[in-house]
Structure 1
């Protein structure tokens, strides 16, 4: 059964990167909660930040004076080392880089990065805002309360910010371009005030355990990660070894089921994936991982006139068990539907490994498991946002393979279609047990239908 989770995250602000923990919304005693590693007691609520995952791990082992100490899985987190508390790429948020992102033309990575950054800023504001409710009696100067996050609220209220949840398609065409320009204007006007409000609640001393001088610059920290992607395990400050039991338990803690479904069956460091992404994005053909009950496999996908086209033939999608097997096929001469793509000669000649980014992993089985768990009583632990990525992958596969039944199952009038529409409007809305129960059957049928188009190659 799904359970509350705690996720390591990294925040970059004022040219330094701090590490902390976030507990996504969970339900306890009939109420929904979320929290960061920090302290909400006193006049100013704070989020504790640390210069390295190792420093974060040391604090977790030695301190219980914080808002996560009563979290259901804190005893597990308290025993984890630096490797387990190192955020994945989906949970690194560059507040300094927002101006650069909105200054460029929108693509799906820019839209997703902004959406994630604004989301975490809003969550920090929500957790640290200790201003009294409007219904409570307040002093005359309550409007000036420093925890009101007025600029954050103003930015989040902009319709263009809400459009980020719709993906890059919302910023295509003349109307979309105008919306992107308006988003940039809102950022120019409000972002400096937003980060000032947030920074007032960021504790860069790690609750007094570190010094601001301990933080490397953001560029130094990035270079260090790229140079030593596998070294986090050895970076524990006191060199404690961790048991195999702890390694098993961490899978139950991170990643959270309320985040975008990720967690590849492949083993590749974030640095290796990022390095490979430069080539694949440049040629416009991306590695994709698909997971169905029959197994997991890698393929390639591009878009031609906004229609998905996969590495395959006659509506069948070829899947390979490892990057090496996929690379070997790419270098061969078997006919398939991507050979006509202009950049295919570059792909056929490359030695760059086909490593999928998190947003190009479609685990159709994990969604089935989550729906079953919610239907069995894990309501409040999974939100509608978990539908977005697997449905996107299923639709692309069905489009290429010509599977009309998939679109019938996702029609706006169906329970699955209605849930997908809500995932676009309100991705943070919790899935109820009765909703999940109604989706389980249709989703299982959809997965069976998609599986008919997949061919696992040796």
Structure 2
């Protein structure tokens, strides 16, 4: 996570879905860089920069193995990416950006998923425009005038504040304002971007080959084993498991600090192997009953449990301040169908949970890898400064706050207090999420975080 990374993404526009790669910001020779898989037609200044899109992850993988004439060829981890197969270049659910679907999302109620999806889409549009703008700094002409006007709207800026910005009467008005800005400017935004999207895969595909958003999701849901890839995958490609392990160690896949959400694929230690489509389908049930599956990764291992909120106070599947965690969603489901008493038994919707056949599959925002942050802080303290933004603290801290609240871990509260170093860093993550962690920051935060992980680990009871 602390190293430069390359993330597979999918873009849907005009009912076509294309796959490409994005390199989130990384630091090299004292400068920050960011790029997409593409090339520039003409001069570097004043030419037209293009992003190559491919109709399948397999075609994207084939291009990566054979082409070196593109903007990611000099990226530090490109040699690893060039050896990956289609499964590792298939975007997770959080790296799919449906430019066609924004109107439908804006028409929904502003729950956290709608707000986060719109915010992520806006962020990706801004990143594309930033990387594709080839005008000189002294040039008065703005290549992406509509994008700049759109991103500058305060209504759009409010998406970055999260769902809390859309609560109550004033929040309803703010959400209506977001929809109005999309109605007014979105078509101009995508028109500007369309001129820079190459729907031929660098000359390897035709427009007719590109699937719709629904077709792309179905294809990726079924792509679970290397032998299931389409015929474009070479038989002599490097073995996926070994290369995938290398990629995860190098930060080349989506297990990285990506587009501002700190979102990651379910990574090492996880027992959850479901496809993004299966997780999304299961989420409909769990959101409806108000009890969500959660995965926690600690040094002792990874486990899944359940969490809900009662009057805004976190409550977990457990008893007497101990959180029951299970190796797999299936193990958790079997426990839920039993008769053992616990602190969720009295929740009104628990009978539905006990009776359901829907597996408890945790979504990305409900997965808390506490060990990964420990490793990141160690790497930054050892000299990898400048590569990890403060936002990397947000999701793990969210998880430990809930666990500490349920388990009554007062020491965790002390270490996260606003006046404590870790508490100040978390507050900065809220105010300035993109500010990079420095080596002195990490060296100071690491002992406190390790103490928190130890404390939280002691509240977890791994059940058979």
Relative to the length of structure 2, the TM-score reads 0.92
Question: Are residues 1:249 and 2:253 paired?
Answer: no
Q: Which residue of 2 aligns with 1:415?
A: 421
Other structure's SS at 1:45 match: strand
Q: Distance in 1 between matches of 2:310 and 2:180?
A: 32
Question: Are residues 1:113 and 2:117 paired?
Answer: yes
Q: Which residue of 2 aligns with 1:66?
A: 70
Other structure's SS at 2:105 match: helix
What does 1:357-372 align with in structure 2 at a 5 Å threshold?
357-372=363-378
C-alpha contact 2:156 2:181 (8 A) present in aligned 1: no
Q: Tell me which moved more, 394-403 or 240-249.
A: 240-249
Q: Tell me which moved more, 273-282 or 81-90.
A: 273-282
Q: Which residue of 2 aligns with 1:189?
A: 184
What does 1:318-333 align with in structure 2 at a 5 Å threshold?
318-333=324-339
What does 1:147-226 align with in structure 2 at a 5 Å threshold?
147=143, 149-226=144-221
- Pair 1:372–1:160, CA change in 2 (3 A): farther
Report Cα offsets for 1:196-246 as digits up to 9, x if no partner. Answer: 111121111112221111112223223333455546753350433323542
C-alpha contact 1:165 1:424 (8 A) present in aligned 2: no
Q: Distance in 1 between matches of 2:155 and 2:455?
A: 36
C-alpha contact 1:257 1:381 (8 A) present in aligned 2: no
Deviation at 1:303, TM superposition (A): 1.4
The gaps in structure 2 that reach 5 residues or longer are none
Deviation at 1:162, TM superposition (A): 3.1
Q: Which residue of 1 aligns with 2:57?
A: 53
Question: Are residues 1:424 and 2:440 paired?
Answer: no
Report Cα offsets for 1:405-444 as digits up to 9, x if no partner. Answer: 3232222222212221222233222222122112112211
Q: Which residue of 2 aligns with 1:296?
A: 302
Q: Distance in 2 between matches of 1:453 and 1:320?
A: 14
Q: Which residue of 2 aligns with 1:393?
A: 399
Deviation at 1:18, TM superposition (A): 0.4
Q: Tell me which moved more, 430-439 or 243-252.
A: 243-252
Q: Which residue of 2 aligns with 1:75?
A: 79
Q: Distance in 1 between matches of 2:156 and 2:445?
A: 29
Q: Distance in 2 between matches of 1:232 and 1:35?
A: 31
Deviation at 1:100, TM superposition (A): 0.9
- Pair 1:163–1:368, CA change in 2 (3 A): farther
Q: Which residue of 1 aligns with 2:283?
A: 277
Q: Distance in 1 between matches of 2:397 and 2:426?
A: 8
Report Cα offsets for 1:296-319 as digits up to 9, x if no partner. Answer: 111101112222111111222111
Report Cα offsets for 1:296-352 as digits up to 9, x if no partner. Answer: 111101112222111111222111111122111101111111111111111000111
Q: Distance in 2 between matches of 1:398 and 1:159?
A: 36
C-alpha contact 2:57 2:89 (8 A) present in aligned 1: yes
Q: How many residues align?
A: 449
Moved over 6 A (4+): none
Q: Distance in 2 between matches of 1:124 and 1:202?
A: 10
Question: Are residues 1:3 and 2:3 paired?
Answer: yes
Deviation at 1:53, TM superposition (A): 0.5
Q: Tell me which moved more, 33-42 or 236-245.
A: 236-245
Other structure's SS at 1:84 match: helix
> Alignment RMSD, CA only?
1.9
Q: Distance in 2 between matches of 1:2 and 1:220?
A: 34
C-alpha contact 1:229 1:270 (8 A) present in aligned 2: no
Deviation at 1:368, TM superposition (A): 0.9
- Pair 1:232–1:301, CA change in 2 (3 A): farther
